[in-house]
Structure 1
Amino acid sequence: MDWDKLRIFHAVADAGSLTHAGDQLHLSQSAVSRQVRGLEESLNATLFHRHARGLILTEQGELLFDATRAMMKRLDAATARIRDSEEEVFGELRVTTTIGFGTLWLAPRLPDLYEKYPDLKIDLMLEERVLDLPMREADVAIRMKEPSQADLIRKRLMSVHMCLFASRDYLEDRGMPETPDDLHEHRLICQNPRSAQVGAGATLVNELMTYDVPSLLTVNNYFGVLQGVLHNLGIGVLPDYLARDFPDLVRVLPEVHSGEVPVFLAYPEELRQSKRISAFRDFVQKEIMEYRKTMKEQAVS
């Protein structure tokens, strides 16, 4: 099967348009159309339904697109490995993690990484869905549980607990609760137990709901919970790693917290020699060590 025709078919299927695919490939629309027709003739199959608003893949087209997508991902992986310099760190690095960890812990620390490696291009993909690393949906992941795939290199970074926090101004105005029963005098800010989140966090929220909390604000990510707490709306359920970076937060009811949430860094075995992966891994581990040191110092003081 002609590779050029497959490459052009993939671009058309991905763009949904002959014109857009031609722009990406620097080919005329007629040249793209001719290659697609040639591929259809060689397969004796119709790959696209054509209509005024663009192109839609047929069932046969979907099958071929699945194959070319997998091929492209493998080619991207090979290209990344080939381009990785023995001495320099450059190029795109696709990092996936949760919205909370990505916005509240990782993103604020990235300036130090860029200062050291200015030619690095990070694509930060924040979502609760676990992306498929072996299929190259991302290069490296930071996950709130141990990855299940066997063909991944994994490194446990730290453990997190979900805890209760409030702002100093809120506590000065409303008072510090002494027992969990006192929560009925406060507003609770948390993720909805049915939203995507770590299981330990959802369990803690369900337990807190049993204390007859009269006022509630639920948000679908921890960044929103933090904003509510910082703006004095109530007592929030937040990860304990925020205590270092947000000194205005005060821990409430220290005996109330979730179970342990392990944090893992993972990447495909095939990227073991990647200089970009190594640079990112070392950077994260260094930041984790500094975080642990600071937390120990705060505990002693």
Structure 2
Amino acid sequence: MDWDKLRIFHAVADAGSLTHAGDVLHLSQSAVSRQIRSLEDSLSVTLFHRHARGLILTEQGELLFDATKSMVKRLDAAAARIRDSEDEVFGELRVTTTTGFGTLWLAPRLPALYAKYPSLKIDLMLEERVLDLPMREADVAIRMKEPSQADLIRRRLMNIRMRLYATPEYLEQAGMPATMADFAQHRLICQNTGAAQVAAGASLVQQLMAFDIPSTLTVNNYFGVLQGVLSHLGIGVLPDYLTEDFPKLVRVLPDVESGEVPVFLAYPEELRQSKRVAAFRDFVTEEIFAYRKRQRVAAEGED
């Protein structure tokens, strides 16, 4: 199929007019019309219904327009990646991470990234499903375990642990538990052990559930768990990186925590030279370095 004819068809379908498409393409109306007729002849279909108010796509035309829209989008994305060889950072960057980390840690820090690169367009995809980076379902991933896919560049960002937190208001009303057995007097807020989550967090929840806990609230992501805790509903199992942004949370049973959970940033080998990926990678790395430094200073101040 002739790409030039498809390009002209796409412009006509997008504009709904031969004249307007000709203006965009810098072609005469008659030249545009000839190309559309030639395409229709080659496909043996009618692509447009013609009437005095303009052009309307036929069912076959709609199918072809869907295809050309996808082609144009991919070409635009390819052109943006090619332009990444320049110094300017701009264009779309598709980032995937978990709902909890994306909403509670990453999103609140993005204003600083946009301030540095105002032409950047981030498509943040928050879900527990692991997207396929080599198949380009996303450009960059932040994951709570080391990626196993081949042809990925990966960087370990930090380690986190799941711990127990509550609000001062809840603890004033319900009391501070001194042992795990005291959970019999409290409500536990956590992810359901059947929900997609890190194994260390699920293991801690299973350990807690072994006690006679009369009331629970289970949510399928840590953002929901946090909202339950902030609403003074009970004691929540939450990642320790929350303590900086929510300093009023009180840690409960300081000796109880999950094993370490590694956090990795990964992207395909083919994006090694991408300016957008490099800008995002360096930004996240700097933010985590600064966070860890503040945590060390705070810990030294407590000694």
2:211 maps to which residue? 211
Q: Is the partner of 2:287 in helix, strand or coil?
A: helix
Go from structure 1 to structure 2 and tell me whether the alpha carbon gap of 1:177 and 1:116 turns closer, same or farther (over 3 Å shift): same
Structure 2 unaligned segments of length 5 or more: list them. 23-32, 46-58
Question: Counterpart amino acid of 1:80?
Answer: A
Deviant stretches of 4+, over 2 Å = 1-9, 31-42, 71-81
Q: How does 1:199-238 map to 2 (within 5 A)?
A: 199-238=199-238
Question: Counterpart amino acid of 1:270?
Answer: E
Go from structure 1 to structure 2 and tell me whether the alpha carbon gap of 1:181 and 1:74 turns closer, same or farther (over 3 Å shift): same
Question: Counterpart amino acid of 1:286?
Answer: E
Q: Is the 8 A contact 1:103 1:223 kept in 2?
A: yes
The Cα offsets for residues 71-91 of structure 1, whole Å up to 9 and x where unpaired, read as 888756642331115322111
1:171 maps to which residue? 171
User: 2 CA distance for matches of 1:269 and 1:162?
Assistant: 32
2:30 maps to which residue? none
User: 2 CA distance for matches of 1:77 and 1:152?
Assistant: 20
Go from structure 1 to structure 2 and tell me whether the alpha carbon gap of 1:39 and 1:197 turns closer, same or farther (over 3 Å shift): farther
1:3 maps to which residue? 3
Q: Is the 8 A contact 1:158 1:264 kept in 2?
A: yes
Question: Counterpart amino acid of 1:210?
Answer: A
1:255 CA displacement = 1.8
User: 2 CA distance for matches of 1:99 and 1:115?
Assistant: 24
RMSD: 3.5
Go from structure 1 to structure 2 and tell me whether the alpha carbon gap of 1:6 and 1:180 turns closer, same or farther (over 3 Å shift): farther
User: Which structure has the larger Rg over C-alpha atoms?
Assistant: 2
Q: Is the 8 A contact 1:74 1:136 kept in 2?
A: no
Go from structure 1 to structure 2 and tell me whether the alpha carbon gap of 1:39 and 1:132 turns closer, same or farther (over 3 Å shift): farther
Question: Under a length normalisation based on structure 1, what TM-score does the superposition of the two structures give?
Answer: 0.79
Q: Is structure 2 residue 186 aligned with structure 1 residue 186?
A: yes
The Cα offsets for residues 230-253 of structure 1, whole Å up to 9 and x where unpaired, read as 111000010010011101111111
Q: Is the 8 A contact 1:89 1:275 kept in 2?
A: yes
User: 2 CA distance for matches of 1:199 and 1:298?
Assistant: 28
Q: Is the partner of 2:237 in helix, strand or coil?
A: strand
Go from structure 1 to structure 2 and tell me whether the alpha carbon gap of 1:230 and 1:180 turns closer, same or farther (over 3 Å shift): same
- State the percentage of identical aligned residues: 70
Q: How does 1:29-178 map to 2 (within 5 A)?
A: 75=75, 78-178=78-178
User: 1 CA distance for matches of 2:264 and 2:42?
Assistant: 44
1:99 CA displacement = 0.5
Q: Is the partner of 1:218 in helix, strand or coil?
A: strand
1:295 maps to which residue? 295
Go from structure 1 to structure 2 and tell me whether the alpha carbon gap of 1:127 and 1:76 turns closer, same or farther (over 3 Å shift): farther
Question: Counterpart amino acid of 2:79?
Answer: T
Q: Is the 8 A contact 1:6 1:39 kept in 2?
A: no
User: 2 CA distance for matches of 1:186 and 1:33?
Assistant: 71
User: 1 CA distance for matches of 2:282 and 2:42?
Assistant: 46
Structure 1 unaligned segments of length 5 or more: list them. 12-17, 43-49
Go from structure 1 to structure 2 and tell me whether the alpha carbon gap of 1:240 and 1:251 turns closer, same or farther (over 3 Å shift): same
